[in-house]
Amino acid sequence: MGGILAVLAQLAGPPPATDSAPPPAADPAATRSDRAAPSAEPTDTVTAPAGDAIATPTQPAANAATPGATGASDGRLVYDTAFFRTFSPASALEIVQRTPGFQLDIGDQEVRGFGQAAGNVVINGQRPSSKSDTINTILQRIPANRVLRVEVGRGDLFGAEFAGRPQVLNLVLTQGGGIAGTVEGTVMRDYTGRLYPAGSASTLIRRGSSSLNLALGVTNDRSTEEGFDRVVTLPARVETEYRRKINRIEEPTGYVSGAYEYNGGANRTAHLNGRLSLDRTILTQSNAVTPASGPERNDRLTQRYKLTGFELGGDYTVPFLDGGLKLIGLATRKDRDDRDRSLLRIDSAVIGGFSQSVVAARDETVVRVIWNRSDLKGWSVETGVEGALNILDSDVNLFDLDGGVPQRIDLPVDQAKVKEYRGELFVNLGRPLSKTLRLDLGATYEASDLRVTGDARAQRVLTFLKPRATLDWRPGGKWHAQASIKRTVAQLQFEDFISIAELTNERVNGGNANLQPQRAWELLTFVERPILGDGLVRLEAGYNRIALVQDRVPTPEGFDAPGNLGNGDVYVLRGRIDAPLTRLGVKGGRATVYLSYIGTRVEDPYTGRDRPFSGTSPLVATASFRQDRAKFAWGIDLEAVMPTRYYRLNEVDEPFSRAPYAKIFAEYRPTTKSTIAVGLDNATGVPAFRRRTFYQPDRRTPLPFLEEFRQRNRHILPYITVKHQFG
């Protein structure tokens, strides 16, 4: 724990010089876990931070428009359920995942407000009035036999939240009455031989114009990973400490949710939904430490995290002025209780350590009113207003356990309350300019009154105008191109205002009550066309000019905290091929290849040289193959990600993994309603790595003096899943 002790010692002494510009290093959602997360699906954020200590941050997968199928007069492509029959899907989620060329975007549940949290799927033309339930969770609860057809079209067909999107998928459900549902169970085995079960069940009840969806889910994700840390001096690479670690991780979750729908026809609908969830994260680490000198230790790290969530939301739509007027209401609450303890031990006798508790409550209340009309003198029009109140009340307590008596350590901004009143007014207009060309325009005026009280006090009012324009071109011959420009403003993470220690990383993240949101002008173009029937090839290029890049800056107390740098640039180049292989001799086969380059650049205030943004992987490649043959199917997914870096006050933190990360599965469908699947997660058994390079006193020193190298491995994780739908 020397890292925390060293930096905390500065609290009693003079602060370091801060006359130079702040250092870059941004992981706004600070890492507080020692575990190595599995590789995740690419996400669409060029500045996304790592989710844990050795996680591999990834780039986004581009949304891809869908060719083929039956065309509708407004440009929608329609797939009836017969198209998906060969896959024997159990749920609506599996139907969406099999839609040619479509890439599911679940949206962002953490963003404040309702409008900006949208994904790219609607149900019966309506966006679900829920944020806690992600769209993939909602789709998983809908039995496949309740799906009538799938429609894919441009975003403006489905509301203001989707204007400018090249594609949105509309899932149209049957109106038949009765009861239908799905049941799913999974058993996974970790490398130590332990078995972990999980299960979920949902039912959909429809009678006349009303339907009720009830769901209950329990997961029991557990895994064991082993690895080591090695600390060496630089440049001589003399080992000063070696740590052999075993992490035992449990993530039990449970939820119950319900959703009611009334559909009385066009612009005569109502929805009500609720959800209660309980999430746990339990990490127990054993750590055999061998220092270069001194006695060996058997340290312990424990993390006990509890998150309770509640949400109630709904919407009501009525005809108004030849269009529809919709009122949306949403209230959520999340209670967090996190406990960390790190103990230094010799022969089970505690000689020191730290403990930390984080108790936080987060509330959000949203009201949104939208009016839309599909034809107002040739224009489609949508306008509305949204108001939101967000509150975070956080209490962080850090204790030094040296000497056996806990001594509280006072961090800057460790008790604080953040409150934001936010409102926005928006309008979206669109019309065809010709048979092949369409123009969509929009603007949002956003105002925010942000207040911080407690250990720090700050108040500011932020206002932004965010215009956008999209030109969509379908010249015939199956080609499709689009160009767009828009202004975006990032939302501040309330947690960035609060100081917190990372016991597993032996460092402190300072809070910054004066953090400003970064702003950007974003330009994006793409061109695509179908291949081999219902396949697709798509190329995408873009450029973002960003002001006040959010990264990390030093604090007077000697920590670093989220803060703003200068202007930055983002360059985007992505390609995707989604190809059916039957014409090439592989019956029932389908392959997808995705390649993404995202180059970022901002001036490093310490070195004065340009460097990438923290938390960006410049290159991501994924490939997948699936083959369906009657009752059998099999497939493989591969992913490779270039390393990313986080530039902090006195270190460069670089998580990475060995390529490729692989998943393999095989399915057997004994009936049209049942599926048995077996698979291997991390099929190649690749470990995850992390390299931390330290500078003294900070990164203005050109050469590092210390390196910590970590390795974690979950090994191959086999599983078996049984799914059945009824009704």
Question: What DSSP line would sit under 662-706, residue for residue?
Answer: EEEEEEEEEETTEEEEEEEETTT---EEEEEEE-SSSTTSSS--E
Collect all residues with Cβ–Cβ distance below 8 Å to 349 and sequence separation of at least 6.
none
Q: Average the pLDDT over 92-98 and give the result.
A: 86
Q: Average the pLDDT over 390-397 and give the result.
A: 95
Q: Quick one: pLDDT at residue 161?
A: 67
- The CA distances from residue 28 to 262, 266, 410, 474, 502, in Å, are 41, 43, 21, 41, 13
With beta carbons less than 8 A apart as the criterion, state whether 663 and 188 touch. no
**pLDDT above 50 (res 516):** yes
Most confident of 10-24, 254-268, 574-588: 574-588
Using a 10 angstrom Cβ sphere, with 0-12 exposed, 13-18 middle and 19 or more buried, the burial of residue 166 is buried
Look at 41-50, 121-130, 414-423, 430-439 and tell me which has the smallest mean pLDDT.
41-50
**Alpha-carbon span 519 to 11, nearest angstrom:** 34
**Alpha-carbon span 100 to 446, nearest angstrom:** 37
Q: Quick one: pLDDT at residue 693?
A: 97
Q: Quick one: pLDDT at residue 35?
A: 36
* Peptide bond preceding 612 in cis form (omega within 30 of 0): no
Strands (E), 125-268: 147-153, 168-173, 178-189, 195-207, 210-233, 239-263
Q: Quick one: pLDDT at residue 447?
A: 96
Q: Quick one: pLDDT at residue 59?
A: 37
With beta carbons less than 8 A apart as the criterion, state whether 374 and 323 touch. yes
Q: Quick one: pLDDT at residue 451?
A: 93
Question: What DSSP line would sit under 224-261, residue for residue?
Answer: EEEEEEEEEETTT--EEEEEEEEEEEEEEEEEEEEEEE
- The CA distances from residue 575 to 597, 623, 643, in Å, are 9, 12, 20
Q: Judging by DSSP bridges, how do beta strands 458-476 and 269-291 pair with one another? A: unpaired
**In this predicted model, which residue has the larger pLDDT, 166 or 408?**
408
* 3-state SS class at 5: helix
Q: pTM above the 0.85 mark?
A: no
Report which of 266, 261, 308 is spatially closest to residue 130, judged by C-alpha positions: 261
Look at 84-93, 325-334, 547-556, 615-624 and tell me which has the smallest mean pLDDT.
84-93
**pLDDT above 60 (res 94):** yes
Q: Quick one: pLDDT at residue 692?
A: 97
Q: How far apart are the first and last CA of the chain?
A: 58
Average pLDDT of the chain to the nearest whole number: 84
As a residue count, the chain comes to 727
With beta carbons less than 8 A apart as the criterion, state whether 715 and 177 touch. no
Query: In the structure, what pLDDT confidence band is assigned to residue 65 with cuts at 50, 70 and 90?
Result: very low
CA dihedral for 81, 82, 84, 86, sign (positive or negative): positive
- Tracing tokens 């009720």 back to the chain, one arrives at 212
Region of 75 please: left (phi>0), alpha (psi -120 to 50) or beta: left
**pLDDT above 80 (res 204):** no
> Percent of the chain, pLDDT > 90?
50
Query: In the structure, what pLDDT confidence band is assigned to residue 42 with cuts at 50, 70 and 90?
Result: very low
The Cβ of residue 405 has, within 10 Å, a number of other Cβ atoms equal to 8
**Alpha-carbon span 66 to 99, nearest angstrom:** 8
Q: Quick one: pLDDT at residue 160?
A: 58
For 33, phi then psi, to 5°, come to -125, 145
* 3-state SS class at 135: helix
For 2-361+384-726, which CATH superfamily applies? TonB-dependent receptor, beta-barrel domain (2.40.170.20)
**pLDDT above 80 (res 519):** yes
Query: In the structure, what pLDDT confidence band is assigned to residue 46 with cuts at 50, 70 and 90?
Result: very low
pLDDT tens string 550-604: 998 887 777 788 989 999 999 999 999 999 999 999 998 999 999 999 999 999 9
Q: Quick one: pLDDT at residue 121?
A: 87
Domain segments of the chain: what residues?
A: 2-361+384-726
**pLDDT above 50 (res 4):** no
Here the tokens at position 645 are: 């870096």
* 3-state SS class at 72: coil
pLDDT tens string 598-650: 999 999 988 889 999 999 899 999 999 999 888 899 999 999 999 999 999 99
pLDDT tens string 142-195: 878 888 889 888 777 776 567 667 788 898 888 766 787 888 899 999 888 888
pLDDT tens string 440-454: 899 999 999 999 998
